[in-house]
Amino acid sequence: MPVHLVEHPLVQDTLLVLRSVETSTDVFRRMATRISVLLAAEALRDLPTAPASVQSPIAVAHGRRVNADVVVVPVLRAGLGMLDAVLELIPAARVGHIGLQRDEMTAVASQYYAKFPANLDRSFVLMIDPMLATGGSAVAALEVLERAGARDVRIVCIVAAPEGIAVVERRFPDVRIYTPVIDEGLNDRKYIVPGLGDFGDRLYGTL
């Protein structure tokens, strides 16, 4: 099952604040960070670990440390609103960037930028983009990552539409999608309903 619904109460509570038209830009930014921390933790639940020990003030404590190369790839520009949250969890993660812009009339995504760290084929790649609407941007980004050598890719989004999930599933059946919700669908302008509006515009105050 490629879609993982993240039903944690804090995720659901934060999602509703993001959806509200009353939410101001500063609160929207904070809530985007909060929900992204929770979603990324879920998406990285199966990260490999290795045994490790530390000396506590009382005795030696045995435990485990993350033992994986993680590459986070925000899809510009809205994905940048999730990046700090992921780096808070994995400060050593490397970061790639993909710039995509949906045409306002046709909703077709075109690429304007891509830059990745080396050895993507050996990395856990976490692609972050808050909105999965038609799926055009996600598929375009996944194709860029595929050409760059990425093998293990998972997507974290904040709102997904059934149309977008179906498109990604068809082209990339092995890519796992982590989302708090699958909304009703798209309107005639290809915005998610009920969605939360234009994520990038709300994040950066460019409405």
Residues near ligand PRP (CB under 6 A): 75, 77-78, 100-102, 107, 109, 129-138, 164, 190, 199-200
106 among known catalytic residues? yes
* CA-closest candidate to residue 141, choices 161, 121, 162, 126: 126
Site string for ligand URA, 136-175 (x = CB under 6 A): ----------------------------------------
- Pair 164, 135: CB distance under 8 Å: yes
Q: Residue 191 touches which of ligand PRP, ligand URA, none (CB < 5 to 8 A by kind)?
A: ligand URA
> Which is closer to ligand URA, CB of 143 or CB of 184?
184
206 among known catalytic residues? no
201 among known catalytic residues? yes
| Cα 73 from Cα 164, distance rounded (Å) | 19
Q: Residue 164 touches which of ligand URA, ligand PRP, none (CB < 5 to 8 A by kind)?
A: ligand PRP
Q: Between residue 99 and residue 138, which ones bind ligand URA under the rule CB under 6 A?
A: 131, 133
* CA-closest candidate to residue 126, choices 103, 152, 147, 159: 152
129 among known catalytic residues? no
The minimum distance between CB 129 and ligand URA, in angstroms, equals: 9
Site string for ligand URA, 181-200 (x = CB under 6 A): ----------xx--x--xxx
User: Which pairs with CB-CB distance under 8 Å and at least 24 residues apart come from 139-142?
Assistant: 139/167, 139/168, 139/171, 139/172, 140/100, 140/109, 140/110, 140/111, 141/73, 141/75, 141/98, 141/100, 142/168, 142/171, 142/172, 142/175
> Which is closer to ligand PRP, CB of 65 or CB of 194?
194
Length of the chain (residues): 207
Q: Which residues are catalytic?
A: 102, 106, 198, 201
Point out which residues bind ligand URA (CB under 6 A).
Answer: 78, 131, 133, 191-192, 195, 198-200
